[in-house]
Amino acid sequence: MDIDMSMVNWARAQFALTAMYHWIFVPLTLGLSFLCAFFESIYVRTGNKEWRNLTKFWMTLFGINFAIGVATGIILEFQFGTNWSNYSWIVGDIFGAPLAIEGIFAFFLEATFFAVMFFGWNRVSKKFHLFSTWMVAVGSNLSAVWILVANGWMQNPVGMVFNPETARFEMHNFAQVIFNPVAVSKFVHTSSSGFLFASLFVLTISCWYLIKGKHIQMAKRSIIVASVFGLLSSSYVAFTGDESAYQVAQRQPMKLAAIEGLYKGETKAPIVAAGILNPKKHPGDDQDPFLVKIEIPYALSLLANRSLNSFVPGIDDLVYGNEEQGIEGVAPKITKGKKAVNNLAVFKQAQKENNSQKAELSLAKFKENQEYMGYGYLETVEEAIPPVAISYYAFHIMVALGTFFPLLFAVFLFYAMKDALTKESLKRWLLPMGLISALLGLIAQESGWIVAEVGRQPWAIYGLLPVKISTTNLAAVNVQITFFMFLGIFTLLLAAEIKIMLKQISIGPKEEL
């Protein structure tokens, strides 16, 4: 098959660009919607107008972020048709269903109550307005459910059958797709990390007010709620992260090996808490993967298999095979995959020639190796390895920051409960730390996305469909043009959001009596 790898790489770059820009807005939407609901619940319960003013302020920032997020999300979904038409054709029957439900049901629910939440003040009762705010929060997170069901299926394809007549994967069991354990773990981890990020966002703006000596009471109240929500979210992020890593170990062992820089499989394997990779290391050689590292004994075996004494395969085991551990290498999978691809082509040709006997025989041979079909498009065994350095460093940055955030929330909550946040001593170290916390949260969010998607390479559908045969038959220059066009548009949108938000932050909450 003649594949223009330049076009494939530009299509990858464009999708990554769109997704990373989009992911600036999504987690903030997921978390800030619930924080707005919490703030308004306190207002309705206490009747204190200051909580109403506070709620409307954060709701304004939520609305700005929501609008830009919708714009980038629409462009992201359109790319499946423009740059990834082969992918859309082969798996559209399955992948398209959750996206359609997201648009018809979740987004509709969100949009319906969105208008009431923003324009219903003094037009509907307090309780109905509060209900609308909660429905926006629920709708936002329901949208994430269906998006992550689709993404979880890409990571762990279940509930489908391959139709050789049409050369497409077709839905077989919708419940399996919805309750795919990878999709479930991805949703709970992604949503809880969004809650954490929104808490950091509130913390950052509130710290700015305290440093400037403006809206002090509002900032203190916001910090207390955000710190409690962030502390609870951090605990849940750690729990769901462990489950997500376990699912990766069970279903995507190559990704786990990459994010840990593990080349030689080990029994009683340690986790690398911190380390610097050896840039000269290549699969199959005898060089040490690390220049320096700090390990936690037994931890990787426990995380991967829930057993301290278990074996965790490394990159070399998965690529070249490990007979002792019963691990088949990539080379025999490629051989079987090429047989499957060839037999499928013979089957299709026999159908065109109305040769039923030949078609039946080739179909039977195809089914013998059908599960390895995706490997038939790989040319070398090393092609099955994701970018190790990117996966490893992104994962460890995410984990390091995820460990730091609950400590930060705990310290802020401690001083907030002592009503000590305005002390001059804290303005020299704690408040500046809070001021950059949203930026650190964004880095953690983007690192998590990189781990999930880069670690899945070279697969569009894990083990079944390589990225390089999923693209549209376009000239690379066409994708290059749109790449730079989107880069400019997204940068302008981001700049516009930052400018509008900064203006609203400088204005602060309106003091309505």
Q: Given this model, what pLDDT does residue 490 score?
A: 87
Identify the pLDDT of residue 203. 96
Give CA–CA dist 273/297, Å, rounded. Answer: 10
Residues 6+ apart with CB under 8 A from 240: 185, 188, 189, 192
Which residues are CB-neighbours of 189 under 8 A, at least 6 positions away?
237, 240, 241, 243, 244
Average pLDDT, the chain: 90
Q: Among 404, 434, 428, 403, which Cα is nearest to 416's?
A: 434
pLDDT score for 442: 94
What whole-number distance in Å separates Cα of residue 100 and Cα of residue 387?
32
Give the per-residue pLDDT at 287: 93
pTM: 0.91
Do 263 and 223 meet the contact criterion of CB atoms below 8 Å apart? no
What pLDDT score does 513 carry?
Answer: 54
Q: Which residue has the higher pLDDT, 352 or 204?
A: 204
d(CA 427, CA 179): 47
Average pLDDT over every residue of 135-143: 87
Residue 337 and residue 374 in contact, taking contact as beta carbons nearer than 8 Å: yes
Which residue, 366, 368, 8, 69, is CA-closest to 198? 69
What pLDDT, on a 0 to 100 scale, did the predictor assign at position 99? Answer: 79
pLDDT tens digits for range 471-489: 888 888 988 998 999 899 8
* Count of other CB atoms within 10 angstroms of residue 86: 16
Per-residue pLDDT, averaged over 391-416, amounts to: 95
Confidence grade of residue 119 (pLDDT, cut at 50, 70, 90): confident
Lowest mean pLDDT among 69-83, 148-162, 191-205, 400-414: 69-83
Which band of pLDDT confidence, cut at 50, 70 and 90, is reported for residue 143?
A: confident
More confident residue, 317 or 75: 317
Q: What's the CA gap between 86 and 374, in Å, rounded?
A: 14
Q: How confident is the model at residue 453 (pLDDT cuts 50, 70, 90)?
A: very high
The pLDDT assigned to 340 comes to: 92
- With a cut of 60, say whether residue 219 has pLDDT above it: yes
Residue 67 has a pLDDT of 79
pLDDT score, position 395: 95
Q: What is the pLDDT of residue 65?
A: 85
| pLDDT band, very low/low/confident/very high, at 269 (cuts 50, 70, 90) | very high
Burial class (CB in 10 A: 0-12, 13-18, 19+), 513: exposed
**Rounded-to-integer distance, Cα 152 and Cα 178, Å:** 9
121-132 residue pLDDT tens: 888 989 999 999
Q: 101-110, 220-229, 306-315 — which is least confidently predicted?
A: 101-110
Range scoring the smallest mean pLDDT among 69-73, 155-159, 177-181, 423-427: 69-73
Question: What confidence score (pLDDT) does residue 462 get?
Answer: 92
pLDDT confidence of residue 1: 57
pLDDT tens-digit map of 38-82: 999 999 999 888 999 999 999 999 988 887 877 777 787 788 888
pLDDT band at 494 (very low <50, low <70, confident <90, very high): confident
Report residue 512's pLDDT band, with 50, 70 and 90 as the boundaries.
low
pLDDT at 105 over 90: no
Confidence of residue 199 (pLDDT cuts 50, 70, 90): very high
CB-count burial class (<10 Å; 0-12, 13-18, 19+) for 390: middle
